[in-house]
Amino acid sequence: MALGCAALGSSPCASLPGASHSFAVGSKFCSRLCFSARPRGRLQRWENSSRRLLFARIRALSSQSAGGSDDRSTTSEKFLNPYVWSDRKSPRICILGGGFGGLYTALRLDSLVWTPEKRPQILLVDQSERFVFKPMLYELLSKEVDVWEVAPLFADLLASTTIRFLKDNVKSVSPFDAVADDNKSSASSIGGKVYLESGIQVEYDWLVLALGAETKMDMVPGALEHALPFSTLEDALRLEKRLEELERERFGPKQLPIDVAVVGSGYCGIELSATVAERLGERGRVQVIDVNSEICPSAPTGNREKASEVLSSRNVKLELGYFVTNIALKDSNEPEKKNKRVVLELKPANSRNTRKAPPSTFLEADLVLWTVGGRALVPKAFPTNGRGQTDTDETLRVKGHPRIFAIGDSAGNKDSSGRLLQTTAQVALQQADYAGWNLWAAINNRPLLPFRLESYCPTLLYQHLGEMMTLGRYNGAVTPSFFEDITLDGVLGHTARKLAYLYRLPTNEHRLKVGVSWLAKSAVDAFSYVQGTVLSLAQKS
């Protein structure tokens, strides 16, 4: 861009004899100033002062012409790559997180009936390329399912929909305050922007927070370095690999047992303990550690009793009433050994209230599995409660942000008595259904539905459908809420649980594929069982 001296106003250099009357703004500016004679004395000082002033004015104008301003956000945003929506007129919905809450909200929105001008564009953002059906990760360890069955690709699930998927990590969210009227919505107004770690910025009209949670591995010294969490597909595959390494090493000629310590006796800890104990059999020793005095304290009595029975039959030792204070490597004279043993330091739970510290109990293990503690993943732009969740109103909208919904682990949603709802899959699934409907209602200027019990409308509430747990191959426990004091266990509970989860899989296409696969596997297992029984009878005769 060329800029004449007259554009600088009353610059002193404009009156200097011999000065060039036009020059280019930029890095070569100095070489374009030419003076016919070298001033001396007072004129020299006047020239230097004028030149410094001129340079300052030109730098300011050059910065403005390049888009610079005092707004830091504008300066940082000009280097970002904006996400291109296919249509700027229709509503743009960005869903952060592709778990039960995020994916099922997107599918619900896609299935609703829209007018052409109101049909939204839906973008689903997740850090993984796969949706993970977390309640069935245990079946990966027991070899009952394949990865594609419980962790299908988003590309396959969304192939027959209008939902677009973007694999990325969320860096930050910048909600706009322009939308302040809860009762009115405009498809053309902007709700805010999402900044992704890849440098992409997504401008949205409506936002859904469904980022889930992560296991807190920094609660105890040494847990991050020496324990394995069990929450994601990567965690399950890492555990499978570690078990295979230990089995190759220990199940050789020496036949050494594998010691496994599971920290936590909630649903995850007990299901994981039962699955690992069944896999290792007599060659493994599993111990469960928890501060509570009983396992699964929030579970129905039938589930808890069945779990205790199964754990006892598999020689799982319960260290209840203890908490872990430290995890460290055991001193070993074999530095080349790959799978080193670790030592867990335990203290009684009641010692926290005593002045004199009781002596510690030490426990050795080849493998430590960590199933306690969780941290909700919520962008810093939103205030959170004590559990790290953002507060929502009864319609699942983030308080103070009428264009943002939060569900699943990210949402601090409460029931009619004011208690926070559990962060379980069935809560997220039902919230997804309501969030999808309420987004439709908000865009179409309709009333939103409350996600809680109301005396005047008992159908508008979170329905607790019961609780299920796996206890290994062909073993499980299911306590439905609509049959009091009835628990389906053993093979019947295992089958009921798998059928319920088959029904809950994301799409009809995936449900059909998995159903056929499970049916084929059941047929093979049944044939093998009959064949083995016949051979056994033949040998006896």
Answer yes or no: do 390 and 352 share one domain: no
**CA dist., res. 310 & res. 471, Å (int):** 7
* Distance in angstroms (rounded) separating the CA atoms of residues 480 and 464: 9
User: For residue 174, what are the β-bridge partners?
Assistant: 193
- Cα separation, 160 vs 180, in Å, equals 36
The rounded distance, in Å, linking the Cα atoms of 168 and 521 is 35
- Is 401 found in the same domain as 356? no
- Tell me, yes or no, whether 75 lies in a domain: no
> Is residue 366 within 8 Å of residue 239, measured between CB atoms?
no
**Total domain count for the chain?**
2
In 3D space, the residue among 123, 133, 230 whose CA is nearest the CA of residue 168 turns out to be: 123
Report phi then psi at 122, rounded to 5.
Answer: -120, 125
CA-to-CA dists, residue 210 to 65, 390, 427, 484, angstroms = 41, 11, 12, 33
Residue 180 sits in the same domain as residue 266: no
Q: Please say which residue of 372, 406, 422 terminates a domain.
A: 372
Strand partners, 346: 324, 361
As a whole number of angstroms, the distance between CA 504 and CA 127 comes to 23
**pTM attached to this predicted model:** 0.79
- Edge-first strand order for the sheet with 81-82 is 81-82, 200-204, 192-196, 170-175
For residue 420, the cross-strand partners are: 414
Assigned domain for 287 exists? yes
Residue 16 within a domain: no
Which residue(s) pair with 391 in the sheet?
Answer: 412
Check which CATH number belongs to the domain holding 286 and give it.
Answer: 3.50.50.60
- Distance (Å, rounded) from C-alpha 480 to C-alpha 266? 19
Same domain, 103 and 174: yes
State whether 189 and 242 are in the same domain: no
**What range defines the domain where residue 299 resides?**
227-372
Contact (Cβ atoms closer than 8 angstroms) between residue 536 and residue 528: no
Q: Which two tokens stand for residue 217?
A: 């591995």
Query: Has residue 451 been placed in a domain?
Result: no
Of 460, 458, 462, nearest in space to 407 by CA = 462
Show which of 417, 444, 471 is a domain's final residue: 444
- Are 95 and 177 found together in one domain? yes
Question: Is residue 113 located within the same domain as residue 202?
Answer: yes
Is 203 in the same domain as 241?
no
What is the token pair recorded at 44?
């020299």
DSSP element (H, E) containing 191: none
Whether 210 maps to a domain, the answer reads yes
Tell me, what's the pLDDT at 92?
95
* Cβ-based neighbours of 429, under 8 Å, separated by 6 or more: 100, 101, 104, 504
Please check whether residues 389 and 332 belong to one and the same domain.
no
Q: Where are the alpha helices (DSSP H) in 121-232?
A: 138-141, 147-150, 154-157, 223-226
265 neighbors 320 (Cβ within 8 angstroms): yes
Same-domain check for residues 289 and 326 = yes
Is 30 a domain residue?
no
Q: Do 231 and 201 lie in a common domain?
A: no
Q: Which residues pair with 501 in a beta bridge?
A: none
State how far Cα 51 lies from the chain centre: 58
Long-range CB contact pairs, 252-255, < 8 A, 24+ = 255/283
Residues 6+ apart with CB under 8 A from 435: 101, 105, 108, 208, 396, 405, 407
Average pLDDT for consecutive 10-residue bins of the chain (541 residues)?
39 38 36 38 52 51 41 46 89 96 96 94 97 96 96 97 96 75 52 94 95 91 95 96 92 85 96 97 95 92 94 96 93 62 91 66 95 90 84 89 92 73 85 95 93 49 78 93 84 94 95 96 83 79 70
Is 7 inside a domain boundary?
no
Cα-Cα end-to-end distance for the chain? 100
pLDDT at 73: 46
Domain boundary, last residue among 314, 341, 372: 372
320 and 335 inside one domain:
yes
Does the residue 478 lie in any domain?
A: no
Q: Please tell me the distance from the alpha carbon of residue 68 to that of residue 76, in angstroms, as a whole number.
A: 10
How far is it, in rounded angstroms, from Cα 505 to Cα 499? Answer: 10
Alpha-carbon span 470 to 481, nearest angstrom: 18
What is the C-alpha separation between 86 and 341, in angstroms, rounded?
55
Helices (H), ranges, 169-300: 223-226, 233-250, 267-280
CB neighbour list of residue 503: distance below 8 Å, 6 or more residues apart: 511
